[in-house]
Structure 1
C-alpha cells in the first residue's frame, strides 16, 4: 500500500518509544488527518520490526485501500463501494505452496510474541494489543466453512494471546462447537495484511460464506493463501505476521482481559476471557504490525472564526440567569448550534443551562440546537461536541423539543406558515452531559490527556507542529 501513495501520505518516524510515543502520536496525527505513520527503529527492538498506523485515515488512503485512485473524490469513494457491494460476486481464495509469511517460522521454545514492538495504545489499556486490525481465522468443524473476523488481541506472555470474542459472533459459535466435542479450537491470528482483508473481516460475511471469498470479490481476484505444516487453516501468503495455536474453553484456561479503549471513546469491558495457546509464529523479514487503535468516533472539523458576539452574549445571559459553574460557550454555523460547557454540581444544572440559553433566543435569530456538555469536552472542537452527543445522550431522555420564534430567512419555514405569518420553528435542547446521579461511575475516556499531549509536543515538536 505504501508504494501506491503519494510522498505526503506516509511519514516515517524513527526512535519512537512503543509505550510513551506511538499511541499518542498516532492519535494526535489522526486528529489532524495527517499521514499514515511508519514507526521504525523502535528502542529495544531490531531495526525493521515496525508499526504502521493511520493507514486509512484520509480519503486518499481509503481509496487506495479499496483499489481506487488516490485522488478519487470522497463521495465517489462511497458511490464506488456501494455499487461494488451491490454487484459483488464472491471469489474463492487461491492456494499457493509458499509465500513471504514463511520467511521466518518459530515453533517450540522459539515462540515469543515479545519479539514484536506491540504498543500500549492508550494509557489505561490493560496490556499491549497486537491485534487491533487483525484477522482471526477459524474453521467450522461441521461444514468446513472458514470464518475470518476481527477481535481485539492482547499479548499475555511469550506464548499466550488473549481474545475478546463477542457471544453473537461467528468465531465464538465455531469455538463452542469444538469445545462441545471436548477439544480446543484451532485458530490463527493475522497481524498485518492487505487492507481489503481487514475491511472484509470487519464487515462479516453471511454465515457459510468465507470473508476470503468476500475479499476476493472486492479485489476482483482470489486471495493467495497457504497452509502451514499440520494446519487446517488457510492464512494469507503475503501476511506480515501469523500467530497460530489453539483456543481452549474458558473454564479450562482464561486470563483477565482489558480494559481497552474501544471505538466509542471509552474503556468498558474487562473480564476473564479465553486465550490462544500459541504453538507457531510465522512472519516476514522486517515484519510490520498493522495498528488501528480505536480513537474517538468523530469526524474532521472545518475552520470557523471565533464566534465572539453570539457566544459572549449567551454567556452573559446564562450568568444573569443564575447558571453556575459555566466553563465556556461556543457557537457553530454562526449560531445555529450553541454549545455550553458546565461543571455539574446538582441534578438540574444541565437543564437549567439549556433553558437559560434558549431563553436568550430572540426574534430574528435562527438558533436551532442548544447543547450542554461537561467540562471535560473541548467545545471549540466540533469533534468533541459530537463525541459527547453520540455517547452521552439517551434520545429517550436527553432531548426536549420546544417552539420558538425564528426569522423569515429560515429555509425550513413552509410556504403555508410564511403565508400565515407564523414565524415559529422547533428548537432542540440536548443534554449531552453524563447523568449527574452516576457521573462518577461513567466509563473513563481513553483520550490522551493534556499533560501527556504537552509532553509529546515537547518531545516531538518538529513532527507535531505540522
Structure 2
C-alpha cells in the first residue's frame, strides 16, 4: 500500500486506534522524549503520539512505527513475513532455468512489475516544495533533545541523500544530525557507511558534496533508509517494491544534482565541504541504551528548507530497549531473511534478533543441519554478509528447537554445548557505537554452536555433568564475598548457566574469580557464568542480558575453565566465564572512555509526572529511567550526575 504522504499514514493510524493526539503543550526539549519513552515501553509498544502543541508551527509525530501492528501498517502488509515470502518467490522465479519460449514469456509480467517499482524523476516542483522557507533556519523546526547529556538537539529520523561523484549512484541512508545553529548540523555517517565513501570520493576530487535530507512522506522511505541493502541497490527501488508504486522524485532547488520524494513533509538542502574542519559531535543517547561518545564528524551547511503545506515533523528516540527502533529492526530481520537464505546461507531456516541484543549484539540463527562443521560454515558466511559483519554474539541452533521459544532454545543449546570446543572466537569490524571494544570499530566476536553434534564434532576427552537444580549461594558468598548476587533460576529449567553480580576491586579480578568460582564443588555441572556489575539486578534477566551484551568483548573477556570430571577421572569437564562488567583503565587497562546509560533527569521526570493526567494516555506510568538511576548511579551519584 502506498501512502500519499505522512498525513495519510497518521489518519490510517488514528482510524486503527493506534494514535493519540496530545493537545497539551509539551516542550521538545527532553519532555517529548520522556513521554515517548514511557509509552514505547508499554505492552506491545503503546501508541503512536502526535504532539500538536510544541511551541512551533509544526506538530511532532513520535513512535509511529513502535509496534508490530504499526510496522505492518507502515509497510502495507498483514504480517512482516509476507514481504519475505514475496521476495523469496521473486528470487526463485529469477533463478529458475528458462527452458522454453513459454517460460520466458511467463517472465514478462514480472519484468513489468520490476519496472513499476523503479523511482521516477518528474518535472516541476513537488508538494514537498510548496513552501520555500524565507531565511531558512532549523530553529523554526521542533527538533527534539532526547536525553539530558546529549550534545544538543538532534534530527533523529533524517532520510539523507547523497550521490557517488564518479558514477552518480544514489545512496539513501539514515544518520543522526546534531543541530549546532540555524544553518549548521553535524553529519554522523560512520566510516563503514556508503555516504562516508561518497564523502571520501568528493574529498579526493576537492569538490563540495551536495546533500539533501527529507523528513516524512510515505513511512516506507524512512524504513528503506535503514535497510541493509547492497551498495548498488537503490533504496527507492526497495521503497517502490514495498509500496507497490514507484517513488516520484523532484530535483532539489539549491542542490539540483539530487532528487527527493515529491511527497516528503520537509526537505533540508545543503552541502558538506570535505576540506572543511570537522566538528565535535555528540554525545548522543543511542540505540544501545548507552551514550555514544562525542567524536569528529563533517559539517552540513543548510542552503534551503522547503516543506509541504501543513507538514508534520517526524522524530524518534533511542535508548534503553525496547524503543521504536526494535520494531524497525524486527522488520529488517523478517524482510531480509529471504535474501540471506537465497544468496548467502541456504541452510538458514529462521533468524531472531532479541530486543536485549540491540540488533548487532545478539543474533540467533536456525539452520537445517546436514553435516559436521555446518554451524561454523554459517558463522563465517554471516559475519561476511553486509551489516552482519557487526554482529558480536551469534548463536546457531538447528531445527530440533523453536528459536522464538527462548526457554526451549536455551535448554537445547546448553544440552549440546561443550564450552571448550563449541564456542568460537574471532575479531573483526564492529559497530562504531559498541563501547566495549578496546579499539573503536574493531573487536571480538563469539559464535555458540548449539546444534546437535555429529560424531565428528564430539571431543571424547570431555564429559557432561548433570545440571544441579540449585546451588548454595550463601556458601559461595562466604568464600567469595565480592559476589553480591547470583541468579540461579535457570538451573530449575535444566539450563546450567548463572548470572553473577560482582563488585570489582582489582586488576584481573574477573579472571581470578572465574577460576576460584568454578573450582568450588558446588559448581559441578555449571557450564557458563555471565559476570555483571554489582549494580545490576540479576533477577531481572532481560535487563541483565542487555547490560551483559553491551559490556562484553567476547574474545578479550572470556575465560575457559577445565578440570577432571568428578565422576570419571579419565574425562574432563569444561565451563566458561564471560566478563560483562564495565571496563576501566585502572583495573582492565581499558583506554577508551566508558559511557553512561541513558536516563532522564529528575526535573524532566517530575514535570512529566505532573503533566500525565492532561495527556490522555490512560493510567499513570512511572519513568523507566527511575529503575536505572537507582541501579547505576545510586543516591549519591544521582546528585553528581545532575551537576
Partner in structure 2 of residue 293 of structure 1: 317
Question: Normalization by structure 2: what TM-score?
Answer: 0.59
SS in 2 for 1:164: coil
Partner in structure 1 of residue 165 of structure 2: 141
Unmatched tracts of structure 1, length 5 or more: 305-309, 407-416
SS in 1 for 2:45: coil
SS in 1 for 2:161: strand
Correspondence for 2:56 among 37, 45, 52: 45
Partner in structure 1 of residue 506 of structure 2: 346
Deviation, structure 1 residue 275: 1.7
Partner in structure 2 of residue 238 of structure 1: 263
Q: Does 1:443 align with 2:583?
A: no
Partner in structure 2 of residue 413 of structure 1: none
Q: Is contact 2:186-2:281 (8 Å) kept?
A: yes
Deviation, structure 1 residue 233: 1.4
Cα distance in 1, alignment partners of residues 473 and 181 from structure 2: 54
Q: Does 1:19 align with 2:170?
A: no
Q: Number of paired residues?
A: 437
In structure 2, do the counterparts of structure 1 residues 143 and 8 end up closer, same or farther at CA, with 3 Å as the change threshold? same
In structure 2, do the counterparts of structure 1 residues 119 and 362 end up closer, same or farther at CA, with 3 Å as the change threshold? same
Cα distance in 1, alignment partners of residues 183 and 561 from structure 2: 60
Q: Does 1:124 align with 2:272?
A: no
Cα distance in 2, alignment partners of residues 51 and 423 from structure 1: 64
Q: Does 1:430 align with 2:578?
A: yes
Q: Does 1:56 align with 2:215?
A: no
Deviation, structure 1 residue 93: 1.0
Deviation, structure 1 residue 114: 1.0
Cα distance in 2, alignment partners of residues 28 and 423 from structure 1: 53
Q: Is contact 1:216-1:222 (8 Å) kept?
A: yes
Partner in structure 1 of residue 303 of structure 2: 279
Correspondence for 1:2 among 6, 10, 19: 10
Cα distance in 2, alignment partners of residues 311 and 345 from structure 1: 31
Matches within 5 A, 1:30-41: 30-32=40-42, 33-41=44-52
Cα distance in 2, alignment partners of residues 221 and 451 from structure 1: 47
Deviation, structure 1 residue 58: 2.2
Q: Is contact 2:269-2:303 (8 Å) kept?
A: yes
Cα distance in 2, alignment partners of residues 37 and 180 from structure 1: 44
**Cα-to-partner distance string for 1:433-456 (whole Å, 9 max, x where unaligned):** 123325796421342158578636
Q: Is contact 2:154-2:176 (8 Å) kept?
A: yes
Correspondence for 1:322 among 464, 480, 484: 480
Structure with the greater relative contact order (CA < 8 A, sep ≥ 6): 1 or 2?
1
Cα distance in 1, alignment partners of residues 603 and 518 from structure 2: 37
Matches within 5 A, 1:397-436: 397-402=556-561, 427-435=575-583, 436=587
Q: Is contact 2:609-2:622 (8 Å) kept?
A: no
CA RMSD of the aligned region, Å?
Answer: 3.9
In structure 2, do the counterparts of structure 1 residues 248 and 220 end up closer, same or farther at CA, with 3 Å as the change threshold? same
Matches within 5 A, 1:169-318: 169-229=193-253, 231-249=256-274, 251-296=275-320, 299=354, 314-318=472-476
Cα distance in 2, alignment partners of residues 39 and 378 from structure 1: 35
Greater per-residue helix proportion: 2
**Cα-to-partner distance string for 1:311-332 (whole Å, 9 max, x where unaligned):** 9965413322132261x33345
In structure 2, do the counterparts of structure 1 residues 68 and 359 end up closer, same or farther at CA, with 3 Å as the change threshold? farther
SS in 1 for 2:291: coil
Cα distance in 2, alignment partners of residues 279 and 133 from structure 1: 20
In structure 2, do the counterparts of structure 1 residues 234 and 247 end up closer, same or farther at CA, with 3 Å as the change threshold? same
Q: Is contact 1:354-1:371 (8 Å) kept?
A: no
Cα distance in 2, alignment partners of residues 228 and 323 from structure 1: 65
Cα distance in 2, alignment partners of residues 191 and 356 from structure 1: 56
Question: Normalization by structure 1: what TM-score?
Answer: 0.79
Partner in structure 2 of residue 411 of structure 1: none
Cα distance in 1, alignment partners of residues 41 and 571 from structure 2: 40
In structure 2, do the counterparts of structure 1 residues 437 and 311 end up closer, same or farther at CA, with 3 Å as the change threshold? farther
Deviation, structure 1 residue 179: 4.1
Q: Is contact 1:36-1:56 (8 Å) kept?
A: no
Q: Is contact 2:560-2:574 (8 Å) kept?
A: yes
Q: Is contact 1:65-1:195 (8 Å) kept?
A: yes
Cα distance in 1, alignment partners of residues 86 and 536 from structure 2: 34
User: Which deviates more, 152-161 or 53-62?
Assistant: 53-62
Q: Is contact 2:487-2:539 (8 Å) kept?
A: yes
Cα distance in 1, alignment partners of residues 249 and 580 from structure 2: 48
Partner in structure 2 of residue 386 of structure 1: 545
**Cα-to-partner distance string for 1:223-253 (whole Å, 9 max, x where unaligned):** 122224452311112212110012112x435
Partner in structure 2 of residue 105 of structure 1: 132
Partner in structure 2 of residue 409 of structure 1: none
Partner in structure 2 of residue 410 of structure 1: none
Cα distance in 2, alignment partners of residues 465 and 449 from structure 1: 12
Unmatched tracts of structure 2, length 5 or more: 1-8, 95-113, 323-353, 357-404, 408-467, 614-618, 624-643
Deviation, structure 1 residue 34: 2.4
In structure 2, do the counterparts of structure 1 residues 178 and 432 end up closer, same or farther at CA, with 3 Å as the change threshold? closer
Cα distance in 2, alignment partners of residues 145 and 134 from structure 1: 19
Cα distance in 2, alignment partners of residues 100 and 118 from structure 1: 22
Cα distance in 2, alignment partners of residues 4 and 332 from structure 1: 44
